[in-house]
Every structure is written in C-alpha cells, then in structure tokens.
Amino acid sequence: MALPNGGTPSTAARGVSGSPARAAFDQWLQALVGGDTNTVLATSGGPAQAVGAVALVVDEGFTADGANTTTTVGSESLTTASVTADEVDFSGSVVLDHTLSGPSGSTKSEDSLAGPIKVVLHSGTWQVENLIYDGQPLVLYNQGASTTLNGVTLVVAFVESLGNATVDLVKLTATGSLPVDIEKATMTLGSGQEVTGTAQFGKGMSVGELDFARIAGVPSRLDVTVKRGSGATPFDLSIALQRETSQ
C-alpha cells in the first residue's frame, strides 16, 4: 500500500541501514546462518519462511548423519529499491558460503539471495517475505495435508521451488517398532507429468525432504512408496496437493 498523497515514509519504514525493515532482514539472515529456528520463523513469512525451514532441516540432517555444516555471509550489496508504509524492497544480493565437513573430507558451495527482497509489515512486525534464490523466483504451495495407511503417517507441510530444485518438506512417522524405508517418491503435476525425487532424512529424523528437479508446472499429487522391514510388501502413501501458490 503506497503512502497517501505522495507522503514521505516514516523512519520506521525506510529501507536504510538501522531501520526496522533492514534490521528484520539482518536478523533473519543471521538466524538462518546460525541455525536459530525460532528467530528464523519469527522474522519471516511466506516463501522466505519456507526457505528458512528447508535450510534448517537440511543442516539438522547433516548433523544427525555425523557431518558438520558451517555457513557464513560472503559478499553483500543491498540497497533500497522501493518503500511504502508497509513494504520495503531491497535490490542487490547476499551470498551465503557453505562448508560441509565429514569423514570423507569437505565440500564447499554457495547460494545467492537477491532482490527484489521483500520485507513487509505484519501486525506491527517487519518480516522477510520473498526474494530471488539462486537466480530463480520462489514458488510456494502450502499444504498441511496428511494420510495414514498401515500405521504409517505422511504429512506434507509445503512444496517449494527454490533455485533449480523443488522440495517437499514432509514428516514420516509410524506405529510399532518396525522401520519405515522410502523406496520411491513421485510427484504428479497438473499436466499429468510424473517426476521422481529422492528422499533426504537425517539419521533418526522423522522430518525430512523429498527433492525433485525444479518443476515447470503446478503440483497435483504426491505418491511415496514405503516398506516396513525386510521382505515386507511395499505400499503407497498418496496425497492430493494444493495447487494454489502462497505469496
């Protein structure tokens, strides 16, 4: 919402260093780098919050598998692009440098967060809402759907396209002591096309991700083939997916 009569935004809305909008972005960024789950969730919403959730689950998974992850803020060049009473957009970019260390050595990678970086005012609190991730826009489909079969429950929190990937953030739990193994994950798009992904769960974790190459259409259904114990017959957990984007 633009300011009435072409007025000047208040200091609280200005996207300059030291302003609440920029402070909210900096706080979110530092929480993301430091693995502070509560602060990441409190200082973001929409697609940006989902990015934070995925990053935190990935880091927890590596830690559970005995690896160590370190993320630092590399180059940064943000400037104010536009300002209204309840939204500040930043241009430029921030590079995140990652180092993954484990028994077999270490690998380095990087991700870029670029403008337009949208920071919005929600109920008196500035939150990071949207950005460009690794050169591509974020596309979020909130879900909150679940299904249970043979004592196994699959919950899909959301589906998000970020960078060159599409990630389904899921939770998989089961009754009894038998293990649950994911044998296959397939997502069907609105066009009818089926894409196959890979499951990424840290050791002992019930929350993980199903990773797919970035989809070109809208998600329609998720089918996860699981098996309970050696020699058991596999079965499918199927969930109809929400096809409306969440912005």
Kindly report, residue by residue over 85-95, the tens digit of the pLDDT.
999 999 999 99
Query: How far is the CA of 98 from the CAs of 13, 52, 78, 112, in angstroms?
Result: 32, 15, 20, 11
Domain 139-240: state its class. Answer: mainly beta
In this prediction the pTM is 0.87
Q: Give residue 247's pLDDT band: very low, low, confident or very high (50, 70, 90).
A: low
Which of the two residues, 70 and 102, has the higher pLDDT score?
Answer: 70
Which sign does the torsion angle of CA 221, 227, 228, 232 carry? positive
Kindly report, residue by residue over 178-235, the tens digit of the pLDDT.
889 999 999 999 999 999 999 999 999 999 999 999 999 999 999 999 999 888 899 9
Q: Give residue 2's pLDDT band: very low, low, confident or very high (50, 70, 90).
A: very low
Give residue 239's pLDDT: 97
Statement: residue 4 has pLDDT above 70: no
One-letter amino acid identity for 62?
F
CATH number of 4-137: 3.10.450.50
Render 170-188 in DSSP notation, one character per residue: EEEEESSSS--EEEEEEEE
Query: What is the arithmetic mean of pLDDT over 158-178?
Result: 94
Q: Which of 149, 193, 18, 33 is CA-nearest to residue 88?
A: 18
Statement: residue 64 has pLDDT above 70: yes
Give residue 104's pLDDT: 77
Among 42-51, 67-76, 100-109, which range has the highest average pLDDT?
42-51
Kindly report, residue by residue over 12-58, the tens digit of the pLDDT.
333 444 489 999 999 999 999 998 999 999 999 999 999 999 999 98
Burial status of residue 105 (CB atoms within 10 A of its CB: 0-12, 13-18, 19 or more)? exposed
Q: Which of 113, 104, 93 is CA-nearest to residue 52?
A: 113
Give residue 169's pLDDT: 97
Among all chains, which residue has been given the structure tokens 């260390």?
101
Query: What is the arithmetic mean of pLDDT over 64-78?
Result: 89
CB neighbour list of residue 19: distance below 8 Å, 6 or more residues apart: 11, 12, 13, 88
**Domains of the chain: which residue ranges?**
4-137, 139-240
